Amino acid sequence: MLTISQVASAAGVTVRAVRHYHAKGLLVEPERDHSGYRRYDAAAVVDLIKIRILADAGVPLSRVKELLDAGDDDFKKAVAEIDKRLRLEIRERQGHRERIARLVHGDGLALPPEAVAYLERMRELGIPQRIIDGERDAWIIVAAQQPQSMEAFIRSKVGQLDDPSVVETYKQMEALLDWKPGDPRLDTIADQIVSQLEAISPEDWAAYVEGDQAMPPELVALLDAMFVEQVPVAHDLMRLVEKRGYIGWTKLERIQK
């Protein structure tokens, strides 16, 4: 006859756990001796091991209880499902490994490789770090909300970097970060931006509109808000661009005149 600490150590669990299983009805309470101590037979050890195998596999104790007095068929089905969950959890963890790896690598946050490449490209082209940081934060938010469309979004942006005047505008943007609302130099910038938009060929424009189509309006609004928030003159600039026939920022649209 075994005491509670003996069954517990034989099965590799704690005394507290054994009592917990009694309380939950997973393990039948054994006889007590004259002094009220629980007295176990060795079969209890086997029962405990069964319980641990299931519990270790992540089965909630309430479910373990059901399974212990389930038929052979139900049991097999349940085990198949547990196995499915385990496989899923393994895949999830593999995903988490990738995501935390991206936290340290390169741009220090969770972005898919194509986005990292895009930001890298900007750096190569000499675009100021502050601008790139702003872009990065925007992409992080996009990646969190529309991970499956990231590739398409990036594709529609990456081509623009081939135009030297676009790169030039990005470079000028850094100074603009510190301007105060009402700065007269904004007119020139607005002219530049609009002339670049006008220079886009109709096919490219169509592709661009197509690519941004998938971006939900509230995400566009959020990104615009980020811009307005972080750049004091953003609001002024957007109004100037609007006067010249284009509305928005993240997603620019031609206004009907």
34 belongs to the binding site for DNA (CB under 7 A): yes
Token couple for 222: 């959020």
Distance CA 52, CA 46 (A): 10
What gap in Å lies between CA 226 and CA 234, rounded to an integer?
10
DSSP character at residue 40 = B
- How many Å apart are CA 118 and CA 160, to the nearest integer? 11
Q: What share of the chain is helix, strand, coil (3-state, %, to 5)?
A: 70, 5, 25
Size of the site for DNA (CB under 7 A): 21
Q: Pick one of 17, 45, 234, 237: the residue that binds a copy of itself (CB under 8 A).
A: 45
Stretch that binds DNA, among 35-43, 85-93, 212-220, 228-236 (CB under 7 A): 35-43
Site for DNA in 52-111 (CB under 7 A): 55, 60-62
Q: At its nearest, how many Å lie between a copy of itself and the CB of residue 25?
A: 20
The three-class DSSP label of residue 17 is helix
Own/partner contacts of 157-161, CB < 8 Å, gap of 24 or more, are 157/118, 158/118, 158/121, 159/204, 161/121, 161/122, 161/125
Shorter beta-carbon distance to a copy of itself: residue 4 or 190: 4
Question: Using CB under 8 A as the criterion, what x/- string covers residues 74-113 for binding a copy of itself?
Answer: -xx--x--xx--xx-xx--xx-xx-xxx-xx----xx---
Q: Which is nearer to a copy of itself, 23 or 53 (CB)?
A: 53
Binding test (CB under 8 A) with a copy of itself, winner from 214, 225, 247, 255? 225
Binding mask 154-193 for a copy of itself (x = CB under 8 A): ----------------------------------------
CB atoms within 10 A of CB 167: 16
- Which uninterrupted H or E stretch holds 241? helix 234-243
Q: Tell me which residues touch DNA (CB under 7 A).
A: 3-6, 14-17, 19-20, 32-38, 55, 60-62
